[in-house]
Amino acid sequence: MGNVDTVTDEEREDVLQLLANYENMARAVESLVHYLKMEMPLVDLRADRYRGPIQDIVDLVPVWRSYAASIRVKFMLDRRATPRD
């Protein structure tokens, strides 16, 4: 994403929508894992068949959240630094 100063308002809105999608995906992953643990006790999530794919998506949750938070902070700081008319 480089320099936030070069982002247009339209691009900023697109990025914010993408960040909202990341947050929704993070919640969906957490809900899925909770559902699998609570509602499907016969499925061993530690089995080789499930462990890798589930761990891959679980590992993405903090990445999505961290990225979203950092970009939102950049946008907020950019907005504060921009002189108002």
For each successive 10 residues of the chain (85 residues), what is the average pLDDT? 66 90 91 86 84 90 90 85 71
pTM of the model as a whole: 0.68
The predicted structure's pLDDT at residue 1: 47
Q: What is the pLDDT of residue 42?
A: 81
Q: How far apart are CA 15 and CA 26, in angstroms?
A: 16
| One-letter-per-residue 3-state SS of the chain | CCCHHHCCHHHHHHHHHHHHHHHHHHHHHHHHHHHHHHHCCCCCCCCHHHHHHHHHHHHHHHHHHHHHHHHHHHHHHHHHHCCCC
| Beta carbons of 78 and 4 less than 8 angstroms apart | yes
State the pLDDT at residue 50: 86
